[in-house]
Amino acid sequence: MKLRIGTRSSALALWQADRVRRELEKESVDVEIVHIKTAGDRNRNDAIVNLGAEGVFAKEIQLALLDRRIDLAVHSLKDLPVDPVPGLFFAATLDREDVSDVFVSVKYGDPGDLPRGARVGTGSLRRRCQLAYRLRGKEIRIDDLRGNVETRLKKLDAGDYDAVILAAAGLKRLGFGGRITDARRLAPPEFLPAPGQGALGLECRADDGAALELLRKVNRRDNYAAVTAERAFLSALRGGCIAPIGAYARFENGRLTLDGRILSLDGSRQYDVRLAGEPGLDPDAARRLGQTAAERIVSPEVESILGEVRRLREGKQR
């Protein structure tokens, strides 16, 4: 069997595609990796929130899949929109890397050491809002930071920022784990990751029986259940990929447990929910867990935040 994998061309995306290739080759699959440039790759200057439509790192890859130019798409799952695309199916995920966000600095040991006026870089509204909430009362600047992992580290080393907030998964996968200054204070449950963070999303055509059967063999069912719950939480809130919403699901004593969070856009308010599901790995049960958690976190205050997020998204799409 031959299978064409579509992926972005960044070093991290290629690492991820190669990880999938090695897994598939264990099943006697001949793999070709196809490079695809996305809207997020073409525009490396604007903040993600300003790029407008969802899926700036996924849409072109999904179109190639629908056009049958590729047979399998490999995504950083946190970048894959939760709204399903007709004809496509998120079929599998592999081993999950560290889900945490981490603090990286050449000057300071942890976020609490940052002095007044310090400049922190991040490309994520979720990270920005959580950091603002954690450091409320401290007068620091949290500015947009785009680019691949290497570019962000170079900007930090050049003194453009006093610290940056990055995903532990990307740093570790590219061999930059030694650059992590503080891996504790931005870890769950104090600091929640994006839904699907640290996981790979393997997507194929819904009518491709051979690919679906192959992905069923390599799928890690526990991780699939966890990220399904996280994505269902985000989907039920209709916040989209840019929203200041965090979620982290994991198995505790055989039961899938989900922590969910939403923050105000200025980082001054935070709302949390924790919910445990029934034992087992059933994706439908995991989906219900995420949906129920979303129902429980909603309040008039949360509805107001979600309204702001939707207006922000709509304004950027015009």
What is the topology classification, in CATH, of domain 2-97+195-307? D-Maltodextrin-Binding Protein; domain 2 (3.40.190)
Query: Is 101-179 assigned to CATH 3.40.190.10?
Result: yes
Q: How confident is the model at residue 316 (pLDDT cuts 50, 70, 90)?
A: low
pLDDT value of position 57 = 76
- Per domain, the residue ranges of the chain are 2-97+195-307, 101-179
Assess whether 98 carries a catalytic annotation.
no
| pLDDT per residue as tens digits for the range 125-158 | 999 999 999 999 888 999 999 889 999 999 999 9
Find, among 27, 32, 28, the residue nearest to 17 by Cα. Answer: 32
Q: Say which of 71, 79, 98, 162 is annotated catalytic.
A: 79
Find, among 46, 242, 49, 112, the residue nearest to 120 by Cα. Answer: 112
Burial 137-152 (b: 16+ CB within 10 A, else e): eeebebebbbebbeeb
| pLDDT per residue as tens digits for the range 292-314 | 999 999 999 999 999 998 888 77
